[in-house]
Amino acid sequence: MIRTRAITKIVSTTEGELQILQPISFDVNSGESVAIVGASGSGKSTLLGLLAGLDQVTDGEIFLDEAPLHKMDEEARARMRGEKVGFIFQSFMLVQSLTALENVMLPAEITGLANPRQAALEALQQVGLEHRASHYPNQLSGGEQQRVAIARAFITRPKILFADEPTGNLDAANGDKVEKLLFELNRQAGTTLVLVTHDTELAQRCDRQLHMHAGSLTEESEEKASAEQRYVS
């Protein structure tokens, strides 16, 4: 599903060029769930952004569902994201001036799915928030907002889901709830999942863990028997 070959990321700052990712290569299989773990500032989010086509690699190759992301411009990547990718973020990233239902409808409308309202209501039902459909994000708790974000992520039936610290802003109880929901829906839809976390419990629920340190993948551990072993570097 994902293939990366020696991808690097260099950014320019006022103090000169800064390499935030050393050459990284690894693959993720279809239906697999992968956790990227590591200390804060180790480059996890940067990597996620590149994999999801939100950002452009400096060097190297990324194939997402066989499509060469590294050769695509922002417009092409946007189309790609709309068709194949779902997102969940630490800070929820709901549009404040749209209701829960309308937030869930948003990707369906952007990509031109038929019947977005119906689909969105069903998705809200799946996360148990159909009764809050007409509420605005600031009328919902953090946990509820993240559940709305999960419903939004699944409405387009993406092939692959990216999550950046999905429980990072939530207390333990809400975090658990969101976590359960995420894995449950992921299992049902058979989606490939890549998530960034420093919650070890969450990481352990994934098939595979990639450890990051100072911009490099260091080791890969605790693979589950079912997962195919295929890693580099």
Partner 1 sequence: MSANPNAAVLTLSWRLFRHEARRGELTVILLAIILSVAAVLSLSLFSERLQSALTDRTAEFLAADRLLGSDKPVPDTWLEQARTQGLNTAQRVQMRSMVFANDELMLADVRAVSNAYPLKGTIKLADQPFGLGKAVETLPGPGEVWLDSRLFQVLGIQQGDKVEIGEKNFVVSGVISELPDGGFNVFGGDPLVLMPLSDLAATRITGPGSRTDYDYMFSGDSAALDDYYQWLEPQLDSELHYWRSVEDDDSPLGRSVRRAEQYFLLASLLAIVLASVSIAVAAQRYSHRHYDPVAIMKTLGAPGAMVRKIYLMQIIFIATLGIALGAGIGFAAQHVVAELIADKVPVALDAWHWRPFIIAVFTGVVCALLFSLYPLMKLFSVPPLRVLRRDLGASVGSRISQFIAAGSAIFMLMWAYSGDLKISLILLVTGLMLAAALLVVTMGLIWLGRKLGQGRMGAWQLAWARIQRRAMDNSVQLISFAITIMLLLVVLVMRNDMVKQWQEQLPEGTPNYFMINITDQQRPTVESHFETRGVQMENFYPVVRGRFVAINDDTIRTEVTKEDDERGRRGLGREANLTWSNTLQHENRVVAGSWHGEPDDAQQLYQVSVESQVAERLDIQLGDMLRFNIGSEVVEAQVGSLREVNWQTMQPNFFFVLEPAAMEAFSPTYITSFHLPTEQKALLGQLMSPFPTVTLFDVDARINQLRSVVSQVSLAVEFILVLVLCAGALVLVAQVQSTMDERQQELAILRTLGARGRMIRMSVIAEFIIIGVVAGTMAALANELALYLLQSQVFNMQTAVHWQYWLLAPLTGALVVGLLGAISCWRLLSLNTSQLLRKMV
Ligand X SMILES: Nc1ncnc2c1ncn2[C@@H]1O[C@H](COP(=O)(O)OP(=O)(O)O)[C@@H](O)[C@H]1O
Residues lying near partner 1 in the complex (CB under 8 A) are found at: 45, 48-49, 54-55, 74-75, 78-83, 85, 87, 89, 91-99, 102, 106-107, 109-117, 136, 138, 152, 164
Cβ nearer to partner 1, comparing 44 with 207: 44
Of 139, 152, 206, the residue nearest 179 (C-alpha): 206
| Count of residues near ligand X by CB under 6 A | 12
Of 96 and 229, CB closest to partner 1: 96
Q: Which residues pair with 38 in a beta bridge?
A: 212
User: Which does residue 42 bind out of partner 1, ligand X, Mg ion, none, counting CB within 5 to 8 angstroms by kind?
Assistant: ligand X
Using CB under 6 A, pick the residue from 33, 42, 103, 191 that binds ligand X: 42
Residue of 185, 196, 184, 127 whose CA lies nearest to 157: 185
Q: CB 197 → partner 1: shortest distance, Å? A: 14
From the list partner 1, ligand X, Mg ion, none, pick the one residue 106 interacts with, judged by a Cβ distance below 5 to 8 Å according to partner type. Answer: partner 1
Residue 211 has phi, psi (to 5 degrees) of: -100, 135
CA–CA distance, 103 with 81 (Å, rounded to integer)? 17
Does residue number 226 form part of the binding site for ligand X (CB under 6 A)? no
Structure tokens at 146: 């993240």
Amino acid at 193: L
Token digits for 34?
Answer: 């992968």
Going by C-beta distance under 8 Å and a sequence separation of 6 or more, which residues neighbour residue 51? 2, 4, 62, 64, 162, 194
Q: How far is the CB of 181 from ligand X (least distance, A)?
A: 23
d(CA 146, CA 178): 7
Within residues 14-33, the interface with ligand X by CB under 6 A covers 18, 20
Q: Do residues 67 and 79 lie in contact, with contact meaning Cβ atoms separated by under 8 Å?
A: no
For residue 169, count other CB atoms closer than 10 A to its CB: 16
Residues 17-56 within binding reach of Mg ion (CB under 5 A): 45
Nearer to ligand X, 4 or 156 (CB): 4
Query: Is the separation of the CB atoms in 155 and 107 below 8 Å?
Result: yes
**Which one of Mg ion, partner 1, ligand X, none is in contact with 43 (Cβ closer than 5 to 8 A by kind)?**
ligand X
51/123 with CB nearer ligand X: 51
Site residues, Mg ion (CB under 5 A): 45
Site residues, ligand X (CB under 6 A): 11, 13, 18, 20, 38, 40-46
